[in-house]
Amino acid sequence: MNGIVIYESLTGNTKAAGHIIADELTAAGVETIACPITAVDLQALSDADLVVVGSWTDGVFFFGQRPGRAGRLAGKLPRIDGKKAVVYCTYALDCGGTLDKLARIVRMGGGDVVGGYAIKRDDLFGGSKELVDRLLSALDATV
Ligand SMILES: Cc1cc2nc3c(=O)[nH]c(=O)nc-3n(C[C@H](O)[C@H](O)[C@H](O)COP(=O)(O)O)c2cc1C
């Protein structure tokens, strides 16, 4: 099984989480690379059975949260028809509806979104590892 993490990051947290997720998946046997939405590795995407899409939370902290630069994300995400997908966001205080909105974008791109996880920016490693643990358990349950 192969994976790809595609992230949108402004100050580096979502990028860092994406690389942790890719490293943890690879260590578990799902060979995965991480790349920004502005430079998606199309060969890796085409080889991927699993697509993880991450974004940061943009809003006014307790209101109107949405994926950061959602328009660019939606516009640049290549078609991923039929591929299993997972979404994640990073946030400071409250991610509100960011994950649901991100899932909608990924579904519009053809992805079969099977889950999502919000990662608090003050524990990027713990949150990223938790996402991977949950994802691997879910994949185990489906094989
Ligand atoms: C313009 C702006 C708006 C933000 N709005 C929210 C918000 O509404 N809620 C929240 O929990 N975090 C908010 N944050 C915090 C970021 O989502 C958080 O720091 C995230 O990890 C940044 O990811 P990045 O480093 O990949 O850009 C905001 C950050 C910025 C720059």
* Residue-wise pLDDT tens digits, 107-142: 999 999 999 999 999 999 999 999 999 999 988 776
- Using the predicted structure, report yes or no on whether residue 62 has a pLDDT greater than 90: no
CB contact at 8 A, 24 and 35: no
Q: How many CB atoms lie within 10 A of CB 2?
A: 16
Specify whether the CB–CB gap between 131 and 86 falls below 8 A: yes
Q: How far is the CA of 106 from the centre of ligand 1 (A)?
A: 20
pLDDT score for 121: 98
Nearest CA to ligand 1 atom 2: 58
pLDDT at 74 over 80: yes
Domains and CATH numbers, the chain: 2-135 (3.40.50.360)
Rounded distance between C-alpha atoms, residue 18 and residue 81, angstroms: 21
Burial category of 7 from C-beta neighbours within 10 Å (exposed 0-12, middle 13-18, buried 19 and up): buried
